Amino acid sequence: MKRYSQKIKLGFIFVASMFLLNSCADEYLDNSKIYAIDTESFFNSETDYYNALVAAYDPLQSTFINVLLGEIASNNTLCGGESATDVPGYQQVDDMTHSPVNSQLQNLWSWMFGGVNRAAYIIEFQDKTDFVGKEVIIAEARFLRAYYNFELVKWFGDIPIKPEGRFVFGDEKSIPRSPKAEVYALIEEDLKYAVANLTYVAPQVGRATKGSAEALLGKVYLFQNKFQEASTVLKNVIDFGPYDLVTDYNSIFEDAGENGVESVFEVQYTDIQGAGFGCLQCSEGNVAVGFQGVRGYDGDLFTSGFSFNVPTQEVVDEFEAGDNRKDVAILDIDAWSASTGASFTTGYEHTGFFNRKYIPRKRSTEAAGDLNLTNPNNYRAIRFADVLLMAAEAFNRRSNPDDGLAKVYLNRVRARAFGVANDVTSSGSNLTSAIYHERRVELVGEGHQFFDLVRTDRGAQITGFTSGKNEVFPVPLEEIQFSQGNWSQNSNY
């Protein structure tokens, strides 16, 4: 019997020791650090910060939809395309019949918040690792967050914000849509930090500069009718920034004119990488350009596209006689075809005009397909001409106007446009109107007109525009549903 009990004991010890060996089991399960860097274990070196910054710039390329759809929304163009049902989301915005169910607005919402989150990711981890020059990266991240948030507030009005970092799952149910004023306050704060920590010359072409941040801040002030602040910061760009107007307006929009002296901030595109319709926001090219191209085009200089965003006769007529910008901004396809023998087909709402600044040029042999989606044309987001006109407006409209300086800035733009001095001499509200006119023709096809109209209470100029409703776009229905009652829809949608 003793032998047995000994053996039982032995067996027991054996089994028990197995369990003891396993007692550290729960720690054994912690292997999460092996070989994989996840989002929470990142930011361990300068390179990590830089790589995250590249990621934050990337969604700028998806702002093609803001430019394209913004222009379509305005009174400058018609939607076009192949037929009345070609991209219904665009067609509805053109007709001001858009509703909360609109996949293009859903894209815009998601893509811009994607940008916000990528920039906020850096901001969230800004204190993790120190290195010389970190403030430049943080400043650029804050500039980018401001850029994306500004787009969102322009399009949707009140939006949820989270100053400390990224949105996480559940925030859509708890973080409210902040009033526009609070959103603008965050944007201003971000931009002021960027202004303070950036220089006028970027470490690499394509990155934001002090001038980019100042110009955007000026624009943000202008959108809030803070003309005093706007005039100060914009004058600063004009006086101290390294910018000037390019003599030849046409050269700005060609490949050689990219990142020129007039470029205050420019969204960078390239065509060396392919793209597909499955992920338009993944394209390294400017998708809007292919969409705006002449349908079935075969001829000199240009290549074909999908004939969206076609300028109306009205905007063509807005140009004064002798304005050299007209033939740069507007392609009269019939005249062009007659003179060069180019052939083309007509799409929906064919007006005979195309947005010549941003239609596809002939491509290099290395260009990767789908060629319609990979056009390399950079988007000149903030041009110095825009800065001059914004400054003119700010000085003209501020409570203590300086119309003299406003006219200096305005006429600088006009002189370039006409090749000779063609000065506006009026002042007061006549000068304001002249500035509005100048903005429209100078910046036609660049996606600004709709928002200029709305911020100056001139939205009614757009066919189908309902005041008190169409100043902002509806929050996508899915988003309202995800928020489970946290967010309410914009008025009258």
Partner 1 sequence: MRKKITLLLFMFISFCLTAQTLNVKGVVKDATTGDTLPGVSVVIKGTTIGSETDFDGVYNLSNVKKGSVLVFNYLGMNPKEVVVNSAEINVSLEESAESLDEIVVVGYGKQKRKDVTGSVSLVGEKTLEALKPIDATTALQGTTSGVAVNLSSGAPGAKANILIRGVSSNTNNQPLTIVDGYEGDLNSINPNDIESITVLKDAQAAIYGIKGANGVVLVTTKIGKKNKAPTVKYDTYAAIQQTTRKLDYLNATEYALVLNEAYSASGQSLPFTNVNSLGRGTDWQDELFNDAFLINHNISLSGGGENVRYFISASRTEQDGIIAKEKSNFIRNNIKMNLGVDISDKLNFSVIANYYTSASQSFTGSLLFNGLNYAPTFGVDEEDATNFLGIEVVNPLSLLKNTFGENNGNGLEGNFKLSYKPIDGLTVTSRLGYKIYNEKQRSFTPIQSYGNSKVYNQTQSSVYQFKATSTRVNWETFATYEKTFGEDHNTAFTLGTSVQNDLFDGIYTTGFDVPNNSYEFADISLTNSQSLQRSLNTGNGDVRLTSYFGRAQYDYKGKYLFSGLLRRDGASVFAADQRIDNFWSVTTGWKASEEDFLKDNETISFLKLRASYGTLGNLVGDNLYRSLLNGEAEYVFDGALVSGEAQGRLSNAIATWETAEKLDIGLDINFLDDKITVVADYFEETRKDLLIQDFPVSGLLGIASPGSSSPTVNAGTSKNTGAELAIGYTAYESDNASLNLSYNVTYVKNNVTEVLDDAIVRGGGFAIGNLPPSRMEVGQPIGYFYGLQTDGIFQTQAEVDAHPSQTGLGASTSPGDIRYKDVNGDGVVDFDDRTNIGKPQADFYMGFNISAKYKNWDFSTYLYSELGKEIVRNYERFLPNVNKPAYYLDRWTGAGTSNSVPRLTNDATNNKLFSDFFVEDGSFLRMQNVQVGYNFSSDVLEKVGLSKLRLYTTVNNVFTLTEYSGYDPTINGGAIGAGIDSGNYPSARQFILGLNVEF
Q: Does 171 bind partner 1 (CB under 8 A)?
A: yes
Query: Interaction with partner 1 in 375-434: which residues (CB under 8 A)?
Result: none
321 touches partner 1 by CB under 8 A: no
Distance CA 1, CA 466 (A): 98
Alpha-carbon distance 326 to 427, whole Å? 25
117 binds partner 1 (CB under 8 A): yes
| Contact status: 293 vs partner 1 (CB under 8 A) | no
Bridge pairing between strands 77-80 and 308-311: antiparallel
Segment interacting with partner 1, rule: CB under 8 A, options 22-30, 93-101, 344-352, 453-461: 22-30
Q: Is 177 in the site for partner 1 (CB under 8 A)?
A: no
Q: Which two tokens stand for residue 139?
A: 């400043």
| Whole-number Å distance between alpha carbons of 318 and 131 | 53
Return the H-helix or E-strand segment holding 80: strand 77-80
Joined together, the tokens standing for residue 88 give 């219904």
Query: Which residues in 60-99 contact partner 1 (CB under 8 A)?
Result: 60-62, 85
Query: Closest CB to partner 1 among 241 and 476?
Result: 476
For partner 1, the closer CB: 110 or 232:
110
Tokens matching residue 261: 């002296």
Measured over the CA atoms of residue 329, residue 269, residue 81 and residue 300, the dihedral's sign is: positive
Query: Is residue 141 classed as helix, strand or coil in its secondary structure?
Result: helix
Choose, by CB under 8 A, the member of 46, 95, 101, 106 that binds partner 1.
106
Using DSSP's 3-state secondary structure scheme, residue 453 falls into helix
Locate 475 and state its tokens: 């929050």
Binding mask 437-476 for partner 1 (x = CB under 8 A): ---------------------------------------x
Q: In the complex with partner 1, which residue's Cβ is closer, 194 or 316?
A: 194
Under the criterion CB under 8 A, does residue 181 sit at the interface with partner 1? Answer: no
Single-letter code of the amino acid located at 146: A
Is 59 an interacting residue with respect to partner 1 (CB under 8 A)? yes
Under the binding rule (CB under 8 A), the answer on residue 22 touching partner 1 is: yes
Q: Which residues contact 315 (CB under 8 A, 6 or more apart)?
A: 75, 76, 77, 330, 440, 444
Closer CB to partner 1, 105 or 329, in the complex = 105
Among 82, 254, 370, 478, the residue binding partner 1 under the rule CB under 8 A is: 478
Residues 414, 249: contact at Cβ < 8 Å?
Answer: no
Nearest distance, CB of residue 204 and partner 1, angstroms:
4
Q: Which stretch binds partner 1 (CB under 8 A): 225-233, 345-353, 354-362, 479-487?
A: 479-487
Q: Is 48 in the site for partner 1 (CB under 8 A)?
A: yes
Among residues 86, 95, 134, 166, the one that binds partner 1 under rule CB under 8 A: 166
Give the chain's end-to-end CA distance (angstroms, integer): 88
d(CA 146, CA 390): 18
Q: At its nearest, how many Å lie between partner 1 and the CB of residue 271? A: 10
Contact mark string toward partner 1, 251..290, x via CB under 8 A: -----------------xxx-xx-----x-xx-x------
Question: In what helix (H) or strand (E) does residue 308 lie, and over which residues does it extend?
Answer: strand 308-311
> Can residue 104 be called a binding residue for partner 1 (CB under 8 A)?
no
**Which three-class secondary structure state does DSSP give residue 283?**
coil
Confirm or reject binding of residue 164 to partner 1 (CB under 8 A): no
Q: Taking each helix axis as running N to C, give the angle between helix 384-397 and helix 227-240, from 0 to 180 degrees, rounded to the nearest 10.
A: 140
Single out the segment in contact with partner 1 by CB under 8 A; choices: 69-77, 95-103, 104-112, 405-413: 104-112
